[in-house]
Amino acid sequence: MLISDLKRPCVKCDGSGFQAGFDEWGSIQTNLRKSCPACSGRGHNLTELGQNLWKLYRPMLQDLIREELQNKSTILE
Q: Both 37 and 51 in a single domain? A: no
For residues 41 and 60, state if they share a domain: no
Q: What is the pLDDT of residues 67-76, one digit of tens each?
A: 999 988 887 7
Same domain, 36 and 61: no
Residue 34 counted as domain residue: yes
pTM: 0.63
Q: Does 64 lie in the same domain as 54? A: yes
CA pair distance 6, 1, nearest whole angstrom: 8
**Number of domains, the chain:** 2
Show Cβ contacts of residue 2 under 8 Å, excluding neighbours closer than 6 positions: none
Which stretches of the chain drop beneath a pLDDT of 50? none
Pair 37, 59 in one domain: no
pLDDT at 48: 95
